[in-house]
Amino acid sequence: MEWDQAIARTYAARTGNSVETALRHMSGEGKKDGTTFSAEQAKRAGYVDEIISLGDAHARNDGGDVVLADEDDAIREAEKAEYQRLVNSRLRNFAKNRAGEIAADAEN
């Protein structure tokens, strides 16, 4: 729970949403692992600054995020994002389980 609160505070600061809204997005509003957004929904929610189409994409770094050069780069970035999502999910689960173990040890 402590990790979720810290992550939610970071999302809230970045997006301008409340911590409660960020927690709701993280929990997936009834789903098991987070809310899924379309590009437009993510932009409206404040999680992305800009939406680009692959046809318009070209390599640049304007001081913000790097824009992808082609579809292969987009696929690699999507795979990296999915891997990172999986790692983050496992880290949250590990932290929650470890917190439960520590609490159980403290009770004994």
Supply the pLDDT for residue 71: 60
65 pLDDT exceeds 60? no
pLDDT classification of 52: cutoffs 50, 70, 90 = confident
List phi, psi (to 5°) of 51.
-115, 130
Lowest mean pLDDT among 39-53, 60-74, 82-96: 60-74
State the Cα–Cα distance between residues 21 and 36, nearest whole angstrom: 14
Lowest mean pLDDT among 13-17, 50-54, 70-74, 104-108: 70-74
**pTM of the shown model:** 0.45
8 pLDDT exceeds 70? yes
Beta-carbon contacts of residue 70 (< 8 Å; ≥ 6 apart):
54, 57
Burial pattern 19-46, b for ≥16 Cβ within 10 A else e, equals bebbbebbeeeeeeeebeeeeeebeebe
Supply the pLDDT for residue 18: 93
